[in-house]
Structure 1
Amino acid sequence: MGSKLSGKDLIKLGFPKTNAINIALGQITRYRKREKKDQILLEARSVLLNPDQFLGHGTWGKVAEGLIKPVEVRMQQLRAQRVPFSVFGENEIDEVAKRQLYDALKLPISVQGALMPDAHSGYGLPIGGVLATDNAVIPFGVGVDIGCRMSLSIFDIPASYIKGKEFQLRNILKDNTAFGLTETQKTRTDHELFSRPEFQEIPILKSLKDKAYKQLGSSGSGNHFVEFGIVELVDAKPNWELGKGSYLAVLSHSGSRGLGANIAKHYSYLATKQCPLPKHVQHLAWLDLDTHDGQEYWLAMNLAGDYAKACHDNIHQRLAKAIGKRPRLTIENHHNFAWKEVVGDKECIVHRKGATPASAGMLGIIPGSMTAKGFIVEGKGNIESINSASHGAGRLMSRGACKNSISKSEMSKILDRHQVELIGGSVDEAPMAYKDIEKVISLQQELVNVLGTFTPKIVRMDK
């Protein structure tokens, strides 16, 4: 018997001459190639004899599925008509983003869609796009940065505290935050998340666990940030520990780091293989939630979302400790994720790719730019927006356009004018790269109530 396992070996075991053999070889090559051939064949025989017992198994679950009920792979056709949708702030949205939503509305799995006023084009679903689907999840409808989110900690410290403490707060940010591909926190902390069974049972997650552990408490590059600023609460809820007023606060924006990016890459590839689509919509390939890969992605996506929250919690805990105060109010939300929600009278998968959940009474944060206020909002539960709102101001200029037309000195002058200090950052995140947040908020008055604002003062981003 040769050392390399082949399809002939599986046929000798009794495997049917179907795609189950290709699936088995693919899984073995991906996850078990360093193990002894005899051991693999012994396991493969057990799967063949009792496939029901292996459904959901990390390595063999997909093989068992192939033996019991193979996933049907066939070219998917778009509908002739779009499902119902709403566009908020249509005149502020570029045509490419609208066209991307219109294409998504023709998918055979689509139920309802919406476009937020900060929308701009992306991969597959546009940024600012919301799409409800029937029992299917689109990896690119969630986005590459799974669980990208906002987190705001408000301290019972008057806003005037910042004056005269800029040097101290700047050093606190430098010492307690880490950004980009290579920076990690100097002191590592463990988290109960790493004991989750998904990290042991799903091979792709098992391979990413060490990276996730190292990157805990760090932030991504691009438009991700951690900043000190001033919160103005114009309304306060009875259960809050703070009333109306001006306070010191920390706002962070980041996602699930390398963990989420690798999950997105892996399952996007599987989706395109299982769900062939016309070329112009191939990024909208989906995974059926009744399949092994669909269920596995759902578990991995939720783990990545929880990991993103753990990163923000870690950052805020470090900063709070350095300040010597605990936050009195925390407001947070994902804006790159998928949820199971009832749309109409049907449970759907609601994708929000760059959109803030805004069910009735739900709190969220919609940031502006380095020099523009962000907004603390309460959702109104508008069914036409699928209980959603914008996730920010939205880009007005592409990163390339910023680099070609904005100088660092020009950006520095604008920051100085607004009395904002920037640590790191680049011209592709310059304030003029973004739409007018005041206008964006005004275009969604039927989606959210404004409870307060956040004004950045000391901003840290990647170099």
Structure 2
Amino acid sequence: MAYQTIDGVRVWGEPDPGALAQAKTCSKHGQVVQTLLMADHHKGYSQPIGGVVVYEGQISPSGVGYDIACGNKAVRTNLLAADIKAQLSGIMDRIARQISFGMGRVNKEQVDHELFDDPDWKVYQAIGRQEHDKLKALAQSQLGTVGSGNHFVDLFEEPVTGQLWIGNHFGSRGFGHKTASGFMNLAAGREFLGRAPGESMEQPPVLLDLNSELGDMYVRAMRLAGRYAYAGRDYVIGQMLSILGAEAELEVHNHHNYAWQERHNGRDTMVVRKGATPSAPGQLGFIGGSMGDISVIVRGKDTAENRDAFYSTVHGAGRTMSRTQAAGKMNWKTRTRSGGLISEERMREAVSSFGVELRGAGTDESPFVYRQLQSVLDAHAETIEVLHVLKPIGVCMAGADEFDPYKD
């Protein structure tokens, strides 16, 4: 087996002490079946990023996290990358201009969707009229916006075939963030929209029993946020296809911040994956690297090790440097940064040398702050098969100093 077990936690890749300590804390609270760390793991809030906690009869809103249903969608188009390379700069300009990054919209287009008639909005009505109206209005205003942080819209070339792929990465935006904080407030006896004291990096997980009213309401709200995230990623992919004049030949779409009801080893479980991609046998996944690295389409294997992983794998390369370390500390009053290990010149030079046309992005998303994706894929070689290797040729993200409280 390619993993090691440390104090009951199954660990792939090189153990990060901080993330491992968080995983151990998670394993000691609630009805835990198994705690795992994928090879891209690093510290998160309460449950580590790249962490998987398998519960029986419980769910953890802090484990799923604030960006409920963050995930990726990738599409193989009917075009070759060579067909658009001469126009790549102009195409990236159009993507940056027409697709909404950061907090709001770059246009006045109102995205309507059948999702807003979903019966699970009654969860918020049960909490209160103000809560329902506020969150629904926020969700309607942000559907199809990408946000900032590590969220992206990319163009890829598959070197073997020359095919043009497109992909994106984001989640349920402010709607998911306020849903997460709201249920953690309710669990602590506070008002749903009340000001929370702030979640500690080291705090034990917030747990809800699935057979409780609050647990049932959270599961319904989480699934609604999941459908919302799917709708948003679908919408942005549609915008990209329209800009390119392309059609979709193959779609791969998955969450990596979510909880799934699954049966493992004869037991009904709730698998909470934070920064981890589902990898059931035959299941396809899109795993993104940094802007100066490959991304991949993978398929889950039917192996003993994949069963031991509770059908989970990495969601990306994994950070090795914090945002503040990379970009420095931001003063939002003066909109200036101080400190930071990575200069913009160094980032631009690295990305350009990799052959990428870049729009937006700050040095906290530069290739230097991430592991090499291949290194974490190698650690999971017995659980996933790489079907397609994708090289980015165009990357678009929010601007370096875009304020967005929902970015991660």
Normalised TM-score (structure 1): 0.76
Q: Does 1:251 align with 2:167?
A: yes
Map 1:298-309; keep pairs closer than 5 Å: 298-309=219-230
Q: Which has the larger radius of gyration?
A: 1
Matching residue's letter, 1:383 = R
1:363-374 alignment, distance < 5 Å: 363-374=284-295
Q: 2:66, 2:177 within 8 Å by CA — same for their partners in 1?
A: yes
2:45, 2:202 within 8 Å by CA — same for their partners in 1? no
Out of 425-434 and 211-220, give the one that drifted further. Answer: 211-220
Work out which of the residue numbers 106, 110, 115 in structure 2 matches 1:193: 115
**Does the residue aligned with 2:280 lie in a helix, a strand or coil?**
coil
1:226 maps to 2:153: yes
Deviations 1:34-69, CA, capped at 9 Å, x for gaps: xxxxxxxxxxxxxxxxxxxxxxxxxxxxxxxxxxxx
When structure 1 is superposed on structure 2, of 150-159 and 164-173 the one drifting more is: 164-173
How far the C-alpha of 1:119 sits from its partner, in A, is 0.1
Letter in 1 for 2:158: V
| Alpha carbons of structure 1 residues 206 and 287: separation in structure 2 relative to 1, 3 Å | farther
Deviation for aligned residue 1:281: 5.6
1:362 alignment partner in structure 2: 283
Distance 2:123 2:9 in 1: 39
Letter in 2 for 1:188: Q
Secondary structure of the residue aligned to 2:158 is: strand
Instruction: Give, in whole Å, the separation in 2 of the partners of 1:107 and 1:134.
Output: 12
TM-score by length of 2: 0.86
Structure 1 residues 281 and 319: CA distance shift in structure 2, 3 A: closer
Task: Using CA pairs under 8 Å that are at least 6 residues apart, name the structure with larger relative contact order, 1 or 2.
Answer: 2
Which aligned runs of 4 or more in structure 1 are off by greater than 4 angstroms?
Answer: none
Partner-residue secondary structure (3-state), 2:268? strand
Correspondence 1:209 to 2:136: yes
Aligned to 2:21: 99
How far residue 205 of structure 1 moved from its aligned partner, in angstroms, is: 4.1
Q: 1:347 aligns with which of 262, 265, 268?
A: 268
Aligned counterpart for 1:261 among listed residues 177, 187, 196: 177
Give the counterpart letter for 1:440 in structure 2.
V
Percent sequence identity is: 36
Partner of 1:423: 359
Which residue is 1:22 aligned to?
A: none
* Residues 85 and 384 in structure 1, CA contact (< 8 A), matched pair in contact too: no
2:35–2:54 contact (8 Å) kept in structure 1: yes
Distance 1:84 1:343, change over 3 A: farther
Q: 2:196 maps to what in 1?
A: none
Q: Is the 8 A contact 1:120 1:126 kept in 2?
A: yes
Partner of 1:72: none
Deviations along 1:203-251, one digit per CA (max 9) or x if unpaired, are: 3444311111111111121000001121346xxxxxxxxxxx2211111
* Match of residue 37 from structure 2: 115
Structure 1 position 329 matched with structure 2 position 329: no
Q: Is the 8 A contact 1:83 1:105 kept in 2?
A: no
Amino acid at match of 1:251: G
The alignment's C-alpha RMSD in Å is 1.8
Query: Structure 1 residues 416, 386: closer, same or farther in 2, change over 3 A?
Result: same
The 1-side partners of 2:112 and 2:325 are apart by 41
**Residue pair 1:184, 1:218 contacting (<8 A) in 2 also:** no
Hey, what's the Cα distance between the residues in 2 that align with 1:205 and 1:301? 15
Paired residue for 2:377?
441
2:63/2:274 contact within 8 Å kept: yes
Give 3-state SS (helix, strand or coil) of 1:155's partner: strand
Q: Deviations over 1:271-296 (max 9, x none)?
A: 3449xxxx986440211111111111
1:401 maps to 2:325: yes
* Residues 265-284 of structure 1 aligned to structure 2 (within 5 Å): 265-273=181-189, 282-284=203-205
Aligned residue identity for 2:324? G
* Residue 163 (structure 1) aligned with residue 85 (structure 2): yes
Determine whether 1:413 maps to 2:336: no
How many matched pairs? 365
Distance 1:83 1:433, change over 3 A: closer
- The one-letter amino acid of 2:175's match is L
In the alignment, the residues of structure 2 paired with residue 380 and residue 99 of structure 1 have an alpha-carbon distance, to the nearest angstrom, of 29
Per the TM alignment, residue 179 of structure 1 is displaced from its structure 2 partner at its CA by 1.1
1:178 aligns with 2:114: no
Give the match for residue 388 of structure 1. Answer: 312
Map of 2:403 onto structure 1: none
C-alpha spacing 1:248/1:97, structure 2 compared with 1 (3 Å): same
* 1:184–1:136 distance in 2 versus 1, CA, 3 Å: farther
Matched with 1:376 is 297
Which structure has greater helix proportion?
1
Q: Letter of the aligned partner of 1:252 in structure 2? A: N
Which has more strand, going by share of residues? 2
Aligned match of 2:194? none
Letter in 1 for 2:11: V
Q: Deviations over 1:390-442 (max 9, x none)?
A: 00000010111102101111111111111212111101001010011111111
